[in-house]
Structure 1
Amino acid sequence: MELIMLGTGNASVLNCYNSCFLLKDDNNLILVDGGGGSGIFNQLDKVGINWKQIQNIIVTHKHMDHLIGVLWIVRMFCQHTNRNEHEGTLNIYSHNEVIFLIRDFIEKFLEKKDLQLLNKSLFLIEVKDGESRNIFNKEVTFFDVCSNKAKQYGFKINYEENKNLTCCGDEPYNKINEKHVKNSDWLIHEAFCLKSEEKLFKAYEKNHSTVADACRVAEELGIKNLVLYHTEDKNIKNRKELYLSEGKKIFKGNLYVPYDLEEISI
Protein backbone atom coordinates (compact mmCIF):
# COMPACT_ATOMS: atom_id res chain seq x y z
CA MET A 1 0.00 0.00 0.00
CA GLU A 2 1.09 3.55 -0.73
CA LEU A 3 0.45 6.61 1.44
CA ILE A 4 0.23 9.68 -0.81
CA MET A 5 0.23 12.97 1.09
CA LEU A 6 -1.80 15.34 -1.04
CA GLY A 7 -1.57 18.11 1.55
CA THR A 8 0.29 18.50 4.83
CA GLY A 9 -0.65 21.96 6.11
CA ASN A 10 -3.06 23.30 8.70
CA ALA A 11 -6.12 25.46 7.97
CA SER A 12 -4.29 28.75 7.40
CA VAL A 13 -1.36 27.68 5.21
CA LEU A 14 -0.40 29.52 2.02
CA ASN A 15 2.70 27.60 0.97
CA CYS A 16 1.25 24.09 0.91
CA TYR A 17 -2.18 22.45 0.68
CA ASN A 18 -4.41 21.60 3.65
CA SER A 19 -3.99 18.15 5.20
CA CYS A 20 -5.44 15.26 3.22
CA PHE A 21 -4.05 12.04 1.82
CA LEU A 22 -4.67 8.95 -0.28
CA LEU A 23 -4.26 5.30 0.62
CA LYS A 24 -3.52 3.43 -2.60
CA ASP A 25 -3.48 -0.35 -2.96
CA ASP A 26 -3.03 -1.37 -6.59
CA ASN A 27 -5.84 0.57 -8.30
CA ASN A 28 -7.95 0.91 -5.17
CA LEU A 29 -8.00 4.36 -3.57
CA ILE A 30 -9.27 5.76 -0.29
CA LEU A 31 -9.20 9.54 0.03
CA VAL A 32 -8.99 10.87 3.59
CA ASP A 33 -10.38 14.41 3.78
CA GLY A 34 -10.21 16.81 0.86
CA GLY A 35 -8.54 20.02 1.95
CA GLY A 36 -10.21 23.40 1.78
CA GLY A 37 -11.23 23.85 -1.84
CA SER A 38 -11.13 22.90 -5.51
CA GLY A 39 -7.35 22.70 -5.22
CA ILE A 40 -7.93 19.03 -4.40
CA PHE A 41 -8.21 18.39 -8.16
CA ASN A 42 -4.83 20.01 -8.78
CA GLN A 43 -3.20 17.93 -6.05
CA LEU A 44 -4.70 14.74 -7.45
CA ASP A 45 -3.59 15.63 -10.96
CA LYS A 46 -0.02 16.22 -9.79
CA VAL A 47 0.20 12.62 -8.52
CA GLY A 48 -1.43 11.22 -11.65
CA ILE A 49 -4.84 10.47 -10.14
CA ASN A 50 -8.11 11.37 -11.86
CA TRP A 51 -10.80 12.20 -9.30
CA LYS A 52 -13.07 9.70 -11.11
CA GLN A 53 -10.84 6.89 -9.83
CA ILE A 54 -11.84 7.63 -6.24
CA GLN A 55 -14.68 5.44 -4.97
CA ASN A 56 -14.23 5.80 -1.22
CA ILE A 57 -13.73 8.88 0.94
CA ILE A 58 -13.30 9.15 4.71
CA VAL A 59 -14.06 12.55 6.23
CA THR A 60 -12.69 13.06 9.73
CA HIS A 61 -14.67 16.18 10.66
CA LYS A 62 -16.54 19.23 9.42
CA HIS A 63 -13.82 21.91 9.54
CA MET A 64 -13.56 23.76 6.23
CA ASP A 65 -9.95 22.78 5.58
CA HIS A 66 -10.99 19.11 5.55
CA LEU A 67 -14.53 19.13 4.15
CA ILE A 68 -14.76 21.69 1.33
CA GLY A 69 -12.54 19.72 -1.06
CA VAL A 70 -14.84 16.72 -0.55
CA LEU A 71 -17.86 18.86 -1.46
CA TRP A 72 -16.16 19.77 -4.73
CA ILE A 73 -15.70 16.08 -5.52
CA VAL A 74 -19.37 15.46 -4.71
CA ARG A 75 -20.37 18.27 -7.07
CA MET A 76 -18.24 16.91 -9.90
CA PHE A 77 -19.40 13.35 -9.28
CA CYS A 78 -23.07 14.35 -9.50
CA GLN A 79 -22.53 16.54 -12.55
CA HIS A 80 -20.57 13.96 -14.54
CA THR A 81 -22.80 11.05 -13.51
CA ASN A 82 -25.93 12.87 -14.67
CA ARG A 83 -24.26 13.73 -17.96
CA ASN A 84 -23.36 10.06 -18.48
CA GLU A 85 -19.69 11.07 -18.36
CA HIS A 86 -18.90 8.94 -15.32
CA GLU A 87 -19.91 5.46 -14.26
CA GLY A 88 -19.40 3.96 -10.85
CA THR A 89 -20.17 4.75 -7.25
CA LEU A 90 -18.89 7.07 -4.56
CA ASN A 91 -18.99 6.08 -0.89
CA ILE A 92 -18.40 8.71 1.80
CA TYR A 93 -17.82 7.56 5.37
CA SER A 94 -18.12 9.84 8.37
CA HIS A 95 -20.04 10.51 11.56
CA ASN A 96 -23.58 11.91 11.67
CA GLU A 97 -22.66 15.62 11.71
CA VAL A 98 -20.60 15.45 8.53
CA ILE A 99 -23.11 13.23 6.75
CA PHE A 100 -25.84 15.75 7.56
CA LEU A 101 -23.78 18.62 6.15
CA ILE A 102 -22.99 16.82 2.89
CA ARG A 103 -26.64 15.92 2.36
CA ASP A 104 -27.65 19.48 3.21
CA PHE A 105 -25.10 20.81 0.71
CA ILE A 106 -26.55 18.65 -2.05
CA GLU A 107 -30.10 19.77 -1.23
CA LYS A 108 -29.27 23.48 -1.03
CA PHE A 109 -26.57 23.99 -3.66
CA LEU A 110 -26.94 21.27 -6.29
CA GLU A 111 -29.79 20.25 -8.56
CA LYS A 112 -32.76 18.01 -7.77
CA LYS A 113 -31.44 15.33 -10.09
CA ASP A 114 -28.22 15.30 -8.06
CA LEU A 115 -30.16 14.54 -4.89
CA GLN A 116 -31.72 11.58 -6.68
CA LEU A 117 -28.30 9.95 -6.93
CA LEU A 118 -28.28 9.35 -3.18
CA ASN A 119 -28.43 5.64 -2.33
CA LYS A 120 -28.14 4.80 -6.04
CA SER A 121 -24.58 5.71 -6.96
CA LEU A 122 -23.72 8.22 -4.20
CA PHE A 123 -23.75 6.73 -0.72
CA LEU A 124 -23.38 8.78 2.46
CA ILE A 125 -22.47 6.20 5.07
CA GLU A 126 -22.79 7.15 8.73
CA VAL A 127 -20.37 5.36 11.03
CA LYS A 128 -20.39 5.25 14.80
CA ASP A 129 -17.64 5.20 17.42
CA GLY A 130 -15.97 1.78 17.45
CA GLU A 131 -17.74 0.59 14.29
CA SER A 132 -15.83 -1.34 11.63
CA ARG A 133 -16.50 -1.28 7.89
CA ASN A 134 -15.09 -3.31 5.03
CA ILE A 135 -13.51 -1.07 2.39
CA PHE A 136 -11.78 -2.86 -0.49
CA ASN A 137 -11.62 -6.03 1.65
CA LYS A 138 -9.81 -4.14 4.40
CA GLU A 139 -11.22 -3.70 7.88
CA VAL A 140 -11.48 -0.04 8.84
CA THR A 141 -12.44 0.79 12.44
CA PHE A 142 -13.61 4.31 13.24
CA PHE A 143 -13.19 5.96 16.65
CA ASP A 144 -14.10 9.25 18.27
CA VAL A 145 -10.93 11.26 19.01
CA CYS A 146 -12.86 13.09 21.77
CA SER A 147 -12.20 16.55 20.39
CA ASN A 148 -13.25 19.55 22.48
CA LYS A 149 -13.91 21.41 19.22
CA ALA A 150 -15.80 19.82 16.31
CA LYS A 151 -16.78 16.16 16.59
CA GLN A 152 -14.03 14.16 14.91
CA TYR A 153 -13.35 10.53 14.07
CA GLY A 154 -10.02 8.88 13.50
CA PHE A 155 -9.66 5.40 12.06
CA LYS A 156 -7.50 2.28 12.00
CA ILE A 157 -7.10 0.23 8.83
CA ASN A 158 -5.79 -3.32 8.70
CA TYR A 159 -4.20 -3.25 5.27
CA GLU A 160 -2.61 -6.70 5.28
CA GLU A 161 -2.21 -9.56 7.73
CA ASN A 162 -0.87 -8.22 11.04
CA LYS A 163 -0.23 -4.76 9.52
CA ASN A 164 -2.20 -1.63 10.34
CA LEU A 165 -2.25 2.12 9.97
CA THR A 166 -3.93 4.51 12.40
CA CYS A 167 -4.92 8.12 11.83
CA CYS A 168 -5.78 10.31 14.82
CA GLY A 169 -7.19 13.13 12.71
CA ASP A 170 -5.87 16.61 13.47
CA GLU A 171 -6.27 16.47 17.26
CA PRO A 172 -3.83 15.38 19.98
CA TYR A 173 -3.96 11.73 20.96
CA ASN A 174 -6.44 10.97 23.75
CA LYS A 175 -5.61 8.08 26.09
CA ILE A 176 -9.19 6.82 25.81
CA ASN A 177 -8.20 5.56 22.34
CA GLU A 178 -5.16 3.59 23.46
CA LYS A 179 -6.62 0.30 22.22
CA HIS A 180 -6.85 1.72 18.69
CA VAL A 181 -3.46 3.42 18.60
CA LYS A 182 -1.02 1.38 20.72
CA ASN A 183 1.56 -0.66 18.81
CA SER A 184 0.32 0.52 15.41
CA ASP A 185 2.67 -0.18 12.54
CA TRP A 186 1.96 3.30 11.18
CA LEU A 187 0.56 6.35 12.95
CA ILE A 188 -0.45 9.57 11.21
CA HIS A 189 -0.45 12.34 13.82
CA GLU A 190 -0.76 16.11 13.68
CA ALA A 191 2.22 18.26 14.66
CA PHE A 192 1.29 21.93 14.51
CA CYS A 193 4.81 23.28 15.05
CA LEU A 194 8.13 22.76 16.77
CA LYS A 195 8.12 22.63 20.54
CA SER A 196 10.48 25.61 20.56
CA GLU A 197 7.92 27.63 18.59
CA GLU A 198 4.77 26.67 20.49
CA LYS A 199 4.26 30.17 21.89
CA LEU A 200 4.64 31.64 18.41
CA PHE A 201 2.03 29.39 16.79
CA LYS A 202 -0.14 28.84 19.90
CA ALA A 203 -0.48 25.11 19.32
CA TYR A 204 -1.84 24.38 22.80
CA GLU A 205 -4.33 27.25 22.67
CA LYS A 206 -5.64 25.76 19.41
CA ASN A 207 -5.66 22.23 20.88
CA HIS A 208 -2.83 20.88 18.78
CA SER A 209 0.45 19.07 19.40
CA THR A 210 4.04 20.05 18.85
CA VAL A 211 6.50 17.79 17.07
CA ALA A 212 7.93 16.77 20.45
CA ASP A 213 4.46 15.95 21.81
CA ALA A 214 3.56 13.74 18.85
CA CYS A 215 6.90 11.94 19.00
CA ARG A 216 6.57 11.35 22.74
CA VAL A 217 3.15 9.79 22.25
CA ALA A 218 4.48 7.54 19.48
CA GLU A 219 7.46 6.44 21.58
CA GLU A 220 5.30 5.64 24.62
CA LEU A 221 2.78 3.67 22.54
CA GLY A 222 5.31 1.54 20.70
CA ILE A 223 4.64 2.97 17.25
CA LYS A 224 6.95 1.67 14.53
CA ASN A 225 6.49 4.40 11.90
CA LEU A 226 5.27 7.94 12.59
CA VAL A 227 4.07 10.39 9.94
CA LEU A 228 3.64 14.04 10.96
CA TYR A 229 1.20 16.36 9.17
CA HIS A 230 -1.18 19.31 9.70
CA THR A 231 1.71 21.70 10.29
CA GLU A 232 2.43 25.40 10.00
CA ASP A 233 4.05 26.57 6.76
CA LYS A 234 6.37 29.37 7.88
CA ASN A 235 9.29 26.92 8.00
CA ILE A 236 8.19 25.10 4.85
CA LYS A 237 11.60 25.07 3.12
CA ASN A 238 13.36 23.66 6.17
CA ARG A 239 10.39 21.92 7.78
CA LYS A 240 11.60 18.37 7.17
CA GLU A 241 15.07 19.02 8.57
CA LEU A 242 13.82 20.99 11.59
CA TYR A 243 11.04 18.58 12.52
CA LEU A 244 13.22 15.50 12.11
CA SER A 245 15.91 17.08 14.28
CA GLU A 246 13.47 17.72 17.13
CA GLY A 247 11.52 14.49 16.74
CA LYS A 248 14.39 12.01 16.50
CA LYS A 249 15.64 13.06 19.93
CA ILE A 250 12.46 11.53 21.36
CA PHE A 251 11.08 8.94 18.92
CA LYS A 252 13.30 5.95 18.14
CA GLY A 253 11.19 4.50 15.33
CA ASN A 254 11.01 5.65 11.72
CA LEU A 255 9.95 9.29 11.51
CA TYR A 256 8.50 10.87 8.37
CA VAL A 257 7.87 14.57 7.74
CA PRO A 258 6.52 14.58 4.19
CA TYR A 259 6.07 17.50 1.87
CA ASP A 260 2.91 17.77 -0.23
CA LEU A 261 2.73 15.06 -2.91
CA GLU A 262 5.28 12.77 -1.26
CA GLU A 263 4.55 9.05 -1.52
CA ILE A 264 5.48 6.63 1.24
CA SER A 265 5.41 2.84 0.88
CA ILE A 266 3.84 1.27 3.94
Structure 2
Amino acid sequence: MEELIFLGTGAAMNTDCFTTALLLRDGLAGHHFLMDTGGGNGLLHRFRQAQVPAEAITDVFISHHHTDHILGAPWLMRLSGHGRQRHPDWPPLRIYGSPALLETLMTICRPILPSAVLDLVGSHIRLIPIEDGRTYPIGPWQVTFFDIGAQKVEQYGCQVRLQTGEDLVYLGDEPLREPGLPYAQGADYLIHEAYIAQPGQGRFAPKSIGHSTVQEAAENARAAGAKHLVLFHSGLDAGPARRQSYMSTARDYFKGPISAPNDMDSLFFDHLPKETD
Protein backbone atom coordinates (compact mmCIF):
# COMPACT_ATOMS: atom_id res chain seq x y z
CA MET A 1 0.00 0.00 0.00
CA GLU A 2 1.24 3.47 -0.90
CA GLU A 3 0.23 6.50 1.14
CA LEU A 4 0.68 10.24 0.65
CA ILE A 5 0.67 12.06 4.00
CA PHE A 6 0.04 15.81 3.94
CA LEU A 7 2.36 16.85 6.75
CA GLY A 8 1.68 20.51 5.96
CA THR A 9 -0.94 22.10 3.70
CA GLY A 10 -0.53 25.85 4.28
CA ALA A 11 1.10 28.72 2.45
CA ALA A 12 3.90 30.69 4.06
CA MET A 13 1.92 32.96 6.40
CA ASN A 14 -0.85 30.53 7.32
CA THR A 15 -0.76 30.14 11.11
CA ASP A 16 -3.62 27.61 11.22
CA CYS A 17 -1.56 24.76 9.78
CA PHE A 18 1.99 23.70 8.98
CA THR A 19 3.61 24.78 5.73
CA THR A 20 4.23 22.70 2.63
CA ALA A 21 5.47 19.14 3.19
CA LEU A 22 4.15 15.96 1.56
CA LEU A 23 5.44 12.49 2.43
CA LEU A 24 4.99 9.56 0.05
CA ARG A 25 5.31 6.25 1.89
CA ASP A 26 5.56 2.70 0.62
CA GLY A 27 4.09 0.77 3.51
CA LEU A 28 5.44 -2.60 2.41
CA ALA A 29 9.14 -1.84 1.97
CA GLY A 30 9.29 1.24 4.18
CA HIS A 31 10.53 3.69 1.54
CA HIS A 32 9.78 7.40 2.03
CA PHE A 33 9.99 10.32 -0.39
CA LEU A 34 9.51 13.82 1.06
CA MET A 35 8.34 16.60 -1.26
CA ASP A 36 9.25 19.97 0.29
CA THR A 37 10.26 20.40 3.91
CA GLY A 38 8.00 23.07 5.38
CA GLY A 39 9.26 26.14 7.19
CA GLY A 40 11.20 24.78 10.16
CA ASN A 41 11.64 22.09 12.79
CA GLY A 42 7.89 21.61 13.10
CA LEU A 43 8.60 19.07 10.37
CA LEU A 44 10.19 16.78 12.96
CA HIS A 45 7.02 16.90 15.06
CA ARG A 46 4.98 15.96 11.99
CA PHE A 47 7.18 12.90 11.48
CA ARG A 48 6.47 11.86 15.05
CA GLN A 49 2.73 12.34 14.53
CA ALA A 50 2.91 10.20 11.40
CA GLN A 51 4.90 7.56 13.32
CA VAL A 52 7.75 7.81 10.84
CA PRO A 53 11.19 7.13 12.37
CA ALA A 54 13.78 9.81 11.68
CA GLU A 55 16.14 7.44 9.91
CA ALA A 56 13.41 6.54 7.41
CA ILE A 57 13.69 9.94 5.71
CA THR A 58 16.31 9.30 3.04
CA ASP A 59 15.04 11.05 -0.12
CA VAL A 60 13.93 14.69 -0.18
CA PHE A 61 12.90 16.97 -3.03
CA ILE A 62 12.80 20.75 -2.57
CA SER A 63 10.79 22.54 -5.23
CA HIS A 64 12.17 26.05 -4.66
CA HIS A 65 13.88 28.26 -2.11
CA HIS A 66 10.98 30.06 -0.43
CA THR A 67 10.93 29.84 3.36
CA ASP A 68 7.85 27.61 3.61
CA HIS A 69 9.46 24.94 1.40
CA ILE A 70 13.16 24.89 2.27
CA LEU A 71 13.68 25.73 5.95
CA GLY A 72 12.92 22.25 7.24
CA ALA A 73 15.90 20.94 5.26
CA PRO A 74 18.65 22.17 7.62
CA TRP A 75 16.92 20.30 10.43
CA LEU A 76 16.85 17.13 8.35
CA MET A 77 20.54 17.55 7.59
CA ARG A 78 21.36 18.07 11.25
CA LEU A 79 19.22 15.10 12.26
CA SER A 80 20.83 12.82 9.67
CA GLY A 81 24.35 14.07 10.37
CA HIS A 82 24.09 13.53 14.13
CA GLY A 83 22.41 10.19 13.48
CA ARG A 84 25.37 9.08 11.36
CA GLN A 85 27.84 10.15 14.05
CA ARG A 86 26.08 8.07 16.68
CA HIS A 87 25.00 5.14 14.53
CA PRO A 88 27.35 4.08 11.69
CA ASP A 89 24.51 2.28 9.90
CA TRP A 90 22.29 5.41 9.74
CA PRO A 91 21.17 5.60 6.07
CA PRO A 92 22.39 8.46 3.85
CA LEU A 93 20.24 11.50 3.20
CA ARG A 94 19.71 12.48 -0.46
CA ILE A 95 18.37 15.95 -1.27
CA TYR A 96 17.18 16.65 -4.83
CA GLY A 97 16.88 20.17 -6.21
CA SER A 98 18.02 22.45 -9.00
CA PRO A 99 21.71 23.45 -8.86
CA ALA A 100 20.73 26.97 -7.80
CA LEU A 101 18.44 25.60 -5.08
CA LEU A 102 21.17 23.38 -3.67
CA GLU A 103 23.60 26.30 -3.57
CA THR A 104 21.00 28.38 -1.74
CA LEU A 105 20.52 25.56 0.74
CA MET A 106 24.24 25.45 1.47
CA THR A 107 24.35 29.25 1.79
CA ILE A 108 21.71 28.89 4.52
CA CYS A 109 23.39 25.90 6.19
CA ARG A 110 27.05 26.94 6.31
CA PRO A 111 26.64 29.51 9.11
CA ILE A 112 24.01 27.61 11.11
CA LEU A 113 24.93 23.92 11.08
CA PRO A 114 27.71 22.36 13.16
CA SER A 115 30.93 21.69 11.28
CA ALA A 116 30.60 17.99 12.08
CA VAL A 117 27.37 17.94 10.05
CA LEU A 118 28.72 20.11 7.23
CA ASP A 119 31.71 17.77 6.90
CA LEU A 120 29.28 15.01 5.89
CA VAL A 121 27.89 16.96 2.91
CA GLY A 122 29.06 15.15 -0.19
CA SER A 123 29.32 11.78 1.51
CA HIS A 124 26.57 10.89 3.98
CA ILE A 125 24.47 13.94 3.05
CA ARG A 126 24.22 13.94 -0.73
CA LEU A 127 23.01 16.93 -2.73
CA ILE A 128 21.72 15.72 -6.10
CA PRO A 129 21.18 18.33 -8.85
CA ILE A 130 18.12 17.65 -10.98
CA GLU A 131 17.55 18.36 -14.65
CA ASP A 132 14.37 19.41 -16.39
CA GLY A 133 12.61 16.37 -17.83
CA ARG A 134 15.00 13.78 -16.39
CA THR A 135 13.71 10.70 -14.54
CA TYR A 136 15.36 9.43 -11.35
CA PRO A 137 14.77 6.14 -9.53
CA ILE A 138 13.82 6.97 -5.93
CA GLY A 139 12.91 3.97 -3.81
CA PRO A 140 10.30 1.98 -5.76
CA TRP A 141 9.23 5.04 -7.77
CA GLN A 142 10.29 6.61 -11.05
CA VAL A 143 10.32 10.37 -10.47
CA THR A 144 10.54 12.90 -13.29
CA PHE A 145 11.39 16.46 -12.30
CA PHE A 146 10.30 19.38 -14.47
CA ASP A 147 10.58 23.16 -14.48
CA ILE A 148 7.04 24.47 -13.91
CA GLY A 149 7.69 27.87 -15.53
CA ALA A 150 7.12 29.76 -12.28
CA GLN A 151 6.86 33.54 -12.36
CA LYS A 152 8.53 34.40 -9.04
CA VAL A 153 11.58 32.16 -8.71
CA GLU A 154 12.91 29.05 -10.43
CA GLN A 155 10.69 26.18 -9.34
CA TYR A 156 10.39 22.49 -10.13
CA GLY A 157 7.56 20.03 -9.84
CA CYS A 158 7.62 16.27 -10.10
CA GLN A 159 5.73 13.41 -11.69
CA VAL A 160 5.82 10.18 -9.67
CA ARG A 161 4.97 6.83 -11.22
CA LEU A 162 3.28 4.96 -8.38
CA GLN A 163 3.50 1.20 -7.97
CA THR A 164 -0.18 1.04 -8.92
CA GLY A 165 0.86 2.30 -12.38
CA GLU A 166 -0.82 5.66 -11.71
CA ASP A 167 0.85 9.06 -12.06
CA LEU A 168 0.98 11.50 -9.17
CA VAL A 169 1.92 15.04 -10.23
CA TYR A 170 3.02 17.70 -7.74
CA LEU A 171 3.16 21.24 -9.13
CA GLY A 172 4.83 23.07 -6.26
CA ASP A 173 3.06 26.28 -5.26
CA GLU A 174 2.34 28.06 -8.54
CA PRO A 175 -0.45 27.33 -11.06
CA LEU A 176 -0.22 24.84 -13.88
CA ARG A 177 1.40 26.56 -16.87
CA GLU A 178 2.48 25.43 -20.31
CA PRO A 179 5.84 23.88 -19.25
CA GLY A 180 4.09 21.61 -16.77
CA LEU A 181 1.23 20.58 -19.05
CA PRO A 182 2.94 17.53 -20.63
CA TYR A 183 3.36 16.05 -17.13
CA ALA A 184 -0.07 17.04 -15.81
CA GLN A 185 -1.92 15.84 -18.92
CA GLY A 186 -4.15 12.94 -17.87
CA ALA A 187 -2.56 12.72 -14.42
CA ASP A 188 -4.29 10.27 -12.09
CA TYR A 189 -3.66 12.68 -9.20
CA LEU A 190 -2.88 16.37 -9.73
CA ILE A 191 -1.75 18.30 -6.65
CA HIS A 192 -2.46 21.97 -7.41
CA GLU A 193 -2.09 24.96 -5.11
CA ALA A 194 -5.24 26.96 -4.29
CA TYR A 195 -4.60 30.01 -2.16
CA ILE A 196 -8.26 30.95 -1.58
CA ALA A 197 -11.66 29.57 -2.53
CA GLN A 198 -13.23 32.66 -4.06
CA PRO A 199 -11.90 35.91 -5.55
CA GLY A 200 -12.02 38.71 -2.99
CA GLN A 201 -11.39 36.49 0.03
CA GLY A 202 -8.30 37.09 2.12
CA ARG A 203 -5.95 40.02 2.14
CA PHE A 204 -4.02 39.22 -1.06
CA ALA A 205 -5.16 38.77 -4.65
CA PRO A 206 -3.76 35.34 -5.55
CA LYS A 207 -2.44 36.35 -8.97
CA SER A 208 -0.49 39.22 -7.43
CA ILE A 209 1.58 36.67 -5.48
CA GLY A 210 1.71 33.95 -8.13
CA HIS A 211 -1.10 31.76 -6.78
CA SER A 212 -4.59 30.56 -7.78
CA THR A 213 -8.16 30.53 -6.61
CA VAL A 214 -9.89 27.16 -6.30
CA GLN A 215 -11.81 27.94 -9.48
CA GLU A 216 -8.60 28.50 -11.43
CA ALA A 217 -7.05 25.32 -10.03
CA ALA A 218 -10.15 23.30 -10.95
CA GLU A 219 -10.26 24.78 -14.46
CA ASN A 220 -6.58 23.95 -14.94
CA ALA A 221 -7.15 20.35 -13.83
CA ARG A 222 -10.13 20.01 -16.17
CA ALA A 223 -8.17 21.43 -19.11
CA ALA A 224 -5.33 18.98 -18.42
CA GLY A 225 -7.70 16.03 -18.27
CA ALA A 226 -6.57 15.15 -14.75
CA LYS A 227 -8.60 12.44 -13.04
CA HIS A 228 -8.35 13.43 -9.34
CA LEU A 229 -7.72 16.99 -8.16
CA VAL A 230 -5.95 17.60 -4.85
CA LEU A 231 -6.15 21.19 -3.54
CA PHE A 232 -3.61 22.46 -1.02
CA HIS A 233 -1.30 25.40 -0.08
CA SER A 234 -4.08 27.52 1.39
CA GLY A 235 -3.54 31.13 2.43
CA LEU A 236 -3.67 32.90 5.75
CA ASP A 237 -7.41 33.52 5.72
CA ALA A 238 -8.56 30.05 4.67
CA GLY A 239 -10.05 29.36 8.13
CA PRO A 240 -11.46 26.16 9.60
CA ALA A 241 -14.18 25.77 6.94
CA ARG A 242 -11.58 25.59 4.17
CA ARG A 243 -12.11 21.96 3.17
CA GLN A 244 -15.85 22.24 2.51
CA SER A 245 -15.52 25.64 0.88
CA TYR A 246 -12.74 24.44 -1.44
CA MET A 247 -14.54 21.28 -2.48
CA SER A 248 -17.91 22.95 -2.98
CA THR A 249 -16.36 25.58 -5.23
CA ALA A 250 -14.21 23.11 -7.17
CA ARG A 251 -17.20 20.87 -7.99
CA ASP A 252 -18.63 23.63 -10.18
CA TYR A 253 -15.62 23.43 -12.50
CA PHE A 254 -14.15 19.92 -12.15
CA LYS A 255 -16.25 16.76 -12.25
CA GLY A 256 -13.73 14.16 -11.12
CA PRO A 257 -12.82 13.21 -7.54
CA ILE A 258 -11.64 16.15 -5.42
CA SER A 259 -9.61 16.20 -2.21
CA ALA A 260 -8.82 19.20 -0.01
CA PRO A 261 -6.68 17.63 2.72
CA ASN A 262 -5.97 19.09 6.12
CA ASP A 263 -2.67 18.57 7.89
CA MET A 264 -1.96 14.88 8.58
CA ASP A 265 -4.65 13.64 6.19
CA SER A 266 -3.62 10.88 3.77
CA LEU A 267 -4.40 9.59 0.31
CA PHE A 268 -4.03 5.84 -0.22
CA PHE A 269 -3.16 4.33 -3.58
CA ASP A 270 -4.06 0.67 -3.23
CA HIS A 271 -7.55 1.32 -4.59
CA LEU A 272 -9.33 3.52 -7.11
CA PRO A 273 -9.39 7.20 -6.13
CA LYS A 274 -12.42 8.28 -4.14
CA GLU A 275 -13.59 11.74 -3.21
CA THR A 276 -12.61 12.89 0.26
CA ASP A 277 -15.56 14.05 2.35
TM-score of the two chains, using structure 1 as the length reference: 0.95
Q: Match of 1:108? A: 111
Q: Tell me which of 254, 257, 268 is aligned to 1:254.
A: 257
- 82-91 vs 171-180, which deviates more? 82-91
CA distance in 1, matches of 2:115, 2:45: 28
Bigger helix share: 1
Corresponding position of 1:11: 12
Q: Quote the Cα distance in structure 2 between the aligned partners of 1:111 and 1:215.
A: 45
Distance 2:244 2:40 in 1: 29
Q: Trace 1:95-134 onto structure 2 (pairs within 5 A).
A: 95-134=98-137
SS of residue in 2 equivalent to 1:201: coil
The residue number in structure 2 matching 1:203 is 206
Aligned to 1:80: 83
CA distances 1:213-259 after superposition (whole Å, capped 9, x unpaired): 00001111111111111102433311111111100011001000011
The answer on whether the counterparts of 2:199 and 2:205 sit within 8 Å (CA) in structure 1 is no
* Alignment-mate amino acid for residue 62 of structure 2: V
Query: Deviation above 6 Å: which 4+ runs of structure 1?
Result: none
Match of 2:36 in 1: 33
Amino acid at match of 2:81: C
Contact 1:77 1:86 in 2 (8 A): no
Q: Decide which of 50, 58, 64 is 1:61's aligned counterpart.
A: 64
User: How far apart, CA to CA, are the structure 1 residues paired with 2:238 and 2:212?
Assistant: 16
Alpha carbons of structure 1 residues 161 and 75: separation in structure 2 relative to 1, 3 Å? same
Q: CA deviation at 1:42?
A: 1.1
Q: Distance in 2 between matches of 1:5 and 1:170?
A: 14
Check the 8 A contact 1:181/1:221 in 2, yes or no: yes
Q: Is the 8 A contact 2:149 2:178 kept in 1?
A: no
- Counterparts of 1:254 and 1:77 in 2: how far apart (Å)? 38
The alpha carbon displacement at 1:194 in A equals 1.4
8 Å contact from structure 2 (residues 140, 163) kept in 1 = no
SS at match of 1:133: strand
Superposed displacement of residue 86, structure 1: 6.3
Q: Select 1:217's aligned residue among 208, 216, 220.
A: 220
The CA deviation at 1:112 is: 3.1
- Give the distance between the partners of 2:165 and 2:7, measured in 1 at CA: 27
* Structure 2 gaps, min length 5: 270-277
Q: Tell me how large the CA RMSD over aligned residues is.
A: 1.6
Q: Which amino acid aligns with 1:159?
A: L
What SS class does the counterpart of residue 220 from structure 2 fall into?
helix
| Shift in Å, 1:207 | 1.0
DSSP 3-state at the match of 1:204: helix
Deviation at 1:106, TM superposition (A): 3.9
Contact 2:147 2:179 in 1 (8 A): no
Alpha-carbon spacing, 1:15–1:142, altered in 2? closer, same or farther (3 Å): same
User: Which digits, 9 at most, give the CA deviation of each residue in 1:136-176, with x for residues without a partner?
Assistant: 13211111111121211001011126411001100011122
Identical aligned residues as a percent: 30
Q: Are the equivalent residues in 2 in contact too, given 1:212–1:250 (CA < 8 A)?
A: yes
Runs (5+) with no aligned partner, structure 1: none
SS in 1 for 2:162: strand
The alignment partner of 2:73 has SS state of helix
- Does the aligned pair in 1 maintain the 2:201–2:237 contact within 8 Å? no
